[in-house]
Amino acid sequence: MSNKSLHIKELESESIYVIREVASQFEKSVLLFSGGKDSIVMAYLSYKAFYPSPIPFPFLHIDTGHNFEETIIYRDKLITQFDVKLCIGSVQDFIDSGCLKEETGYDASRNKLQTTVLLAMIEKNRFDAALGGARRDEEKVRAKERFFSHRDEFGQWDPKNQRPELWNIFNGKKQLSEHFRVFPLSNWTEMDIWQYILEENIKLPSLYYTHEREVFKRDGVWFAYYPFVKLRSNERPVIKRVRCRTIGDVTCTGLTLSEAHTTEEIISEIAVSRITERGGRFDDKRSETAMEDRKKAGYF
């Protein structure tokens, strides 16, 4: 703690303040846990915010069924370590019951289907605030989002009607059946997250470090190869040494060729990297306004 950098300390204090605000202002909040590094940092910050009391809200994982195995193992360990309740919303269950239809074709992804499952889980459990690990530096549209993001009855975000946020006063008041998405990491950058992981000595899933994997290249981006991925005729799975920069559903998580074994090595790689983190995520590339459209519809 004493050897933590100044700006990281300030960001940590701000995030803990926001997390405590959620616990104070809402009756039934939940932490959206994807297994990605941002949600892992969120889990640690939540632990710190209430220590020595347990974290006062459950974690919610929207499971696409197309996971990296390591993510699930890591998730279950963390749940035990922090002694929190885990809720799972399964995309597979929604598909099996006929509520959702699977996308087909080469670029099929279950990412979009997650939105429906998330909203259904919020509705079913009557969650009134969902904490997420999104950061404003990730994407242009996120840059405009507030810490406390108001969602209507249908989970929709209205970018033109956001509540002004002044000083550190947050207004989480809402009508019944509306809810909030809250983003305590809003002001962190990718580099800050890595620096925090380093300074706090947080263990991440092995996927974040270099490992050998069967991969294929599509539109200039490396993806993990799994049997359910439909390859184009010019695409061949090959073995490469890679790491993930961010982890989502396997069908749209881009990989970086890397030899980084440690957090320090990752930081030096990122410091010289010229590609943004989301640049490796296929789902954002569909259209120039992809993220905005999905956000309005209730995406994370």
Partner 1 sequence: MTTVNYSNVELLRFITAGSVDDGKSTLIGRLLYDSKSVFEDQLESMKVISERHGNHKVNLALLTDGLRSEREQGITIDVAYRYFSTPKRKFVIADTPGHIEYTRNMVTGASTAEAAIILIDARNGIMEQTKRHSYIISLLQIPNVIFAVNKMDLVDFSEKKFEKITDEYSIFIQKLNIKNVYYLPISAFHGDNVVEFSKKMTWYKGPSLLSILETIPLKNNISSLPARFPIQYVIRPQTDNFHDYRAYAGQIASGTYNVGDSVTIVPSYTQSIIKAIDNVMESLNEASAPQSVAIRLVDNVDASRGDMIVKSTELPIVDSNISLMVCWFNHRPLCIGIKYIIRHTTDEVFGIVTHVNYKVNINTMENVICDEHVKMNDIAHVFMKTSKPLKYDIYVKNRLTGGLIIIDGNTFETVGAGMIMK
Q: Is 174 in the site for partner 1 (CB under 8 A)?
A: yes
Nearer CB in complex with partner 1: 16/72: 16
Q: Is 181 in the site for partner 1 (CB under 8 A)?
A: no
What x/- string results for residues 72 through 111 when contact with partner 1 is judged by CB under 8 A? ----------------------------------------
**Contact flag: residue 20 with partner 1 (CB under 8 A):** yes
What does the per-residue mask of binding to partner 1 show for 248-277, with x meaning CB under 8 A?
----------------x--xx--x-xxxx-
176 binds partner 1 (CB under 8 A): no
> Is the four-CA dihedral 203, 204, 207, 210 of positive or negative sign?
negative
Question: Between 187 and 216, how does the x/- string for binding to partner 1 read (CB under 8 A)?
Answer: x-x-xx--x--xx-----------------
The dihedral through the CA atoms of 162, 291, 12, 268 has a sign that is: negative
Rounded CA-CA distance 92/104 in Å is: 15
Residue 152 touches partner 1, criterion: CB under 8 A = no
Stretch 30-59 residues interacting with partner 1 (CB under 8 A):
47-54
Task: Provide, rounded to whole angstroms, the least separation between the CB of residue 170 and partner 1.
Answer: 8
**Angstrom distance (rounded) from CA 2 to CA 218:** 45
Going along 110-231, which residue ranges are E strands? 129-131, 148-151, 179-182, 211-218, 221-224
Helix (H, G, I), strand (E, B) or coil at 178: coil
Given the DSSP bridges, would you call strands 86-90 and 59-63 parallel, antiparallel or unpaired? parallel
Among the listed residues 10, 96, 103, 158, the single contact to partner 1 using CB under 8 A? 10
Residue 239 in tokens: 């073995």
Tokens of 42: 């969120």
Check the CA dihedral 274-288-218-283 and report its sign: positive
Least distance to partner 1, CB of residue 278, Å: 8
* Residue 96 to residues 34, 90, 226, 250, 299, Cα–Cα distance (Å): 22, 10, 21, 20, 22
C-alpha separations of 220 from 90, 217, 254, 279 in Å: 31, 6, 10, 10
Q: How far apart are CA 121 and CA 100, in angstroms?
A: 14
The number of beta carbons lying within 10 Å of the beta carbon of residue 270 is 19
Residue 281 DSSP one-character state: B
Residue placing its CB nearer to partner 1 in the complex, 53 or 97: 53
Closer residue to partner 1, CB minimum distance, 139 or 249:
139
Q: Which is nearer to partner 1, 12 or 249 (CB)?
A: 12
**Per rule CB under 8 A, is residue 16 in the interface with partner 1?**
yes
Q: Which is nearer to partner 1, 2 or 97 (CB)?
A: 2
- Residue from 97, 169, 176, 219 binding partner 1 (CB under 8 A): 169
Size of the site for partner 1 (CB under 8 A): 65
Among 77, 168, 232, 259, binds partner 1 (CB under 8 A): 168
Binding site for partner 1 (CB under 8 A): 1, 3, 5-7, 9-14, 16-17, 20-21, 23-24, 47-54, 136-137, 140-141, 143-144, 159-160, 162-169, 171, 173-175, 186-187, 189, 191-192, 195, 198-199, 264, 267-268, 271, 273-276, 279, 288-289, 292
